[in-house]
Amino acid sequence: MDVTVTVSERRWKSLIPLITKCFAVFEKVVVLPSSSVDVFLVSLKEARQIKAASVRRGLRVSGKSDKHSFNVLAYPAPRNFPRPDRRGKFLGEIYLSPDFVEAHGQNVASMLAHGFLHLLGYDHEKKNDRIRMAAQEKKLLRRLTSKFCVVRNGVSKTSEDKHKTRRKVTT
């Protein structure tokens, strides 16, 4: 899977390898033909502006329609959306605020998994949809955890580092 990561603040560049590894695992769990995704790491202010603009335009935004709540925003690409600069199918864009993730005790990997599933058409509007999405999210995170031992608050440990000290991923 081709993943393009754009960061609005240099301090988040250290997350790029983690994001790339996450999508390498996601691709193995959810078998997809050649595809690509764009991930944007944005400030909380930028994330709120993006969400507010989406609500104003009438785009469906998961969860509360409150423009101030935010964890991850995912915008699936329209069917057959042309991206000549990419090989394969362009899945869409994921917007994530590392500051929000850290402040709310979440981790980047689980938010990426959640956003990725939205790009694939999963939803949590109805109970059955929530159950189906939660099961798939659990599957992705289980595979991710077994490979990288992802823990809360951005602390991650690779399977190669099992007996070494945990390293803090700066968010």
Domain positions in the chain are: 2-168
pLDDT at 60: 65
State the pTM of this model: 0.80
Question: Under CATH, what is the fold of the domain 2-168?
Answer: Collagenase (Catalytic Domain) (3.40.390)
Closest CA to 91 of 53, 121, 112: 121
Give the dihedral sign, CA 151/157/163/164: negative
pLDDT at 113: 94
pLDDT at 148: 64
| Residue whose entry in the numeric block shows the structure tokens 């869409």 | 92
pLDDT at 69: 58
Low-confidence stretches of the chain (pLDDT < 70) are: 60-70, 148-171
Pseudo-torsion of CA 137, 139, 140, 146, nearest 10°? 140
